[in-house]
Structure 1
Amino acid sequence: MEPSWEHPCAQLKWFSSSIRRPTALAWLNTYRLSFRHLYLVQKLRSELAKRYKVGLVGVAHPHVWGVLRSLRESDKGMLTAASLDKPSSESDSERLRREHGLGKLYGNYREMLDEEDIDIVFNYADHILRTPVTELAASKGLHIMVEKPMAYSLKDAERMLEAAKKNNVKLMVNWPTMWFATYRKVHELVENGKIGRIFHIRMRVGHNSCEEEGFTGSCFQWMGQKEAGGAYLDFCCYGVAFAVWLIGMPKRVFGTAGNFVKSFIPSYDNGIVVMIYDCGTAVVEGTWSQIGGIPAGPEICGTKGTICFDADEAMIFTKLKSEVIRVDPLPQEESNAVEYFLTRIEGDKIIGGMCDPKFSRDVQEVLEAGLISSEKGKVVAMPLGT
């Protein structure tokens, strides 16, 4: 039913709620309205054409290129500015210009945030800049997305969380595993008690991509610094996050991190975290020195069955049978980090799951406990400080 045409607000509400976007655009382009309604048309057109303007800070983590590809394909946002604070290279600049049509590229994130009219910051700076970039962006009222892990220390994670809360902006942590339908399905099965009470989780993540030749100038040059955590933070974070997502925070943590193969890296090329619960454990492994793509998807052991899965499929084993689990594709608005984040901003919705910064702060605490354990050679009680 059409509203009373005597009240402009009623007209705008009817336009925005009753007409689908393509239909509305066609209608506005073909239907003649009186002059007293033109301002409503202009306002509605502006809303329909709304695309969030994104500013990029850094290309330190290689996941940034996949995120930018998703942004380029989205109708909700566009990259309008970038600051290539170190570490970066001329090839990074060329790629941004070629793939995203950017002209001016900043060399200092503060200058970009001061000069550019943007709505969102994709913070892909290194471990030194990630927290100050987040704090400055939040102080300017900008929403922020960062890559996993949330930070490189618990203190930094808490600073970022506080900055977002203080300035009432959204902060999201991109965990790539959130965009695999199998992970979501397995979480649903565990929540519904499909395999009973969980008493053990095992997850190993690794590769052998970090080589001495080409190390300088690569992402590993900064990720391999001692304070950046090396393979320990880069890959153990996945398993820790998954375990916390499924069964919560552990009571105690034991960790070990070392450089066993790649001596040219200042930090760790291997790490293990053992999360100890009242009635179970989770064992998480991360490596930069594993040769070959060894199948090592998560294993979840429950009192009624076991689930094994990877990015493509999942299987459930019980005493009576084993079966492949049917997994439906994720909805478009949750298919990747960009769509999820922009949809949450657009609808002012809560950021949930592993992308919740409060959740990621807890993951950071477990990771830090593991490093403390590795340094001291003993089990660490949780929460830290107890």
Structure 2
Amino acid sequence: MLLRPSLFLLLLLLAHLANAQSSKKPLRVGIAGMAHDHVHGILNKAFKQTGQTDIEIVGIAEPNRELAERLAKQHGFSMSLVYPTVAEMLDKTKPEAVTDFGPIVDHKKTVDICAPRGIHVMVEKPLATTFADAKQMEALAKKHKIQLLTNYETTWYGSNHKAYAIANTDKSIGDLRKIVVHDGHQGPKEIGVSKEFFAWLTDPVTNGAGALFDFGCYGANLSTWLMHNERPLSVMAVTQQIKPDIYPKVDDEGTIILTYPKTQTIIQGSWNWPFSRKDMEVYGQTGYVFTVDGSRMRIRLKDDKNEKAVEAPQTDAPATDSFAYFARLIHGETKPDELTSLENNIIVMEILDAARQSAKTGKAIKLPK
């Protein structure tokens, strides 16, 4: 029986698409360090989510054997994947990309070893512990033409992307005047983080600061994005140790004020909230948009008598999670997102560095033009 040309072409197209899907290989990923509790996200995805095909964990670098064995038992991966150093893991497994789940101070070491090999890197937030380290990482990434991403949970919130569209694409609330970002939780000890995570998170050398860096980075990232990567004129920060018995080395409360020519941002990062929160208020000349969580929002525009509750679908975000996005980016299936861009995160580090200096000196820090 002869097929009609239109039906034949349709079947040919479907066969081509099926072959393309089957030939698409997952991104070969190596993990550098496992002392950051966010590592559970990628381990769950790689070893427990049946049907996911965007990433494959080919090697893990973790010198703490006890930690690696504990996580291997919890997530069901073989200890044959684990190597004592990043260099050995790279040599033996040849990953296309590396995700860093070690102390923030180690991010630079990971880029130092991966970039010359052409291996892409994604680190957990923030990018580094100092602005100087961040600039060196940027130079290496550009020299060796690799992607260097910083992963923030809030990047994958549909609400944030809808808020950005309302404020900047649709311009429904007029020129931006004030941005207020709240991030944090009751405290690392209070929420029960692992002993390995707690050790470096509460050390000013390995984490850069306490809540100031841990949660101040979210607001710096979002504000920079909303302001189209404009650097602030000045940075002022105040930190406190409300619980010095628990956090003797670092701040547990940090507030940062960023001034722009016609806009102000207030960033409130805390280990003292009564509950976990990641929400934002964006005020324009004629309206406002609030994000309550990853999907819920409250909006009031110029002619509204009352604010409206709105739901933002997850599809408003560039991907369902950072690892799917990383794979799509490296496979050339998407373009870099402004929110995860290296340009944005270099500005974030300039802000955090200045905030730490401001908190120490009690003075506002003017950023060089």
Q: What's 1:36 paired with?
A: none
Distance 1:291-1:21 versus aligned 2 partners, 3 A rule: farther
Distance 1:304-1:89 versus aligned 2 partners, 3 A rule: farther
Range that drifts further, 123-132 or 211-220:
211-220
Q: What's 2:267 paired with?
A: 284
Once the two structures are superposed, what CA deviation does each residue of 1:42-89 show, in whole Å capped at 9, x if it has no partner?
xx97xx05222211111222222113333444312211110114xx56
Secondary structure of 1:218's counterpart equals helix
1:62 to 3, 27, 37: 37
Secondary structure of 1:60's counterpart equals coil
Once the two structures are superposed, what CA deviation does each residue of 1:151-195 show, in whole Å capped at 9, x if it has no partner?
111111111111111111111111110111000100111112110
Distance 1:347-1:100 versus aligned 2 partners, 3 A rule: farther
Q: What's 2:300 paired with?
A: 317
Distance in 1 of aligned mates of 2:352 and 2:218: 10
Q: Under a length normalisation based on structure 1, what TM-score does the superposition of the two structures give?
A: 0.82
Q: How does 1:372-383 map to 2 (within 5 A)?
A: 372-383=357-368
Distance in 1 of aligned mates of 2:110 and 2:171: 41
Secondary structure of 1:125's counterpart equals coil
- Is 2:186 aligned against 1:208? yes
Distance in 1 of aligned mates of 2:92 and 2:278: 47
Q: What's 2:341 paired with?
A: 356
Q: What's 1:187 paired with?
A: 164
- Is 2:212 aligned against 1:232? yes
Distance in 1 of aligned mates of 2:250 and 2:14: 56
- Is 2:104 aligned against 1:124? no
Q: What's 1:340 paired with?
A: 325
Q: Under a length normalisation based on structure 2, what TM-score does the superposition of the two structures give?
A: 0.86
Secondary structure of 1:290's counterpart equals coil
Range that drifts further, 329-338 or 342-351:
329-338
- Match of 1:103, as an amino acid? M
Distance 1:201-1:173 versus aligned 2 partners, 3 A rule: same
Distance 1:214-1:207 versus aligned 2 partners, 3 A rule: closer
Distance in 1 of aligned mates of 2:42 and 2:316: 18
Once the two structures are superposed, what CA deviation does each residue of 1:97-130 show, in whole Å capped at 9, x if it has no partner?
5525233211222221222222111111213322
Secondary structure of 1:354's counterpart equals coil
Distance in 1 of aligned mates of 2:193 and 2:42: 23
Distance in 1 of aligned mates of 2:128 and 2:250: 16
1:332 and 1:339 in contact (8 A); partners too: no
Quote how far apart the aligned CAs of 1:340 are: 0.7
Q: What's 2:239 paired with?
A: 257
1:81 and 1:102 in contact (8 A); partners too: no
Q: How does 1:13-28 map to 2 (within 5 A)?
A: 18=13, 23-24=18-19
Once the two structures are superposed, what CA deviation does each residue of 1:307-333 show, in whole Å capped at 9, x if it has no partner?
112223111113532222352331797
1:182 and 1:327 in contact (8 A); partners too: yes
Distance in 1 of aligned mates of 2:300 and 2:44: 38
Distance 1:329-1:200 versus aligned 2 partners, 3 A rule: same
Higher relative contact order (CA 8 A, sep 6+): 2
Distance in 2 of aligned mates of 1:217 and 1:78: 27
Q: What's 2:176 paired with?
A: 198
Secondary structure of 1:128's counterpart equals helix
Percent identical pairs in the alignment equals 23
Quote how far apart the aligned CAs of 1:230 are: 1.2
Figure out how many residues of one structure are paired with residues of the other and give that number. 346
- Match of 2:291, as an amino acid? F
- Match of 1:24, as an amino acid? N
- Match of 1:255, as an amino acid? A
2:297 and 2:310 in contact (8 A); partners too: yes
- Match of 2:220, as an amino acid? V
Distance in 2 of aligned mates of 1:117 and 1:187: 38
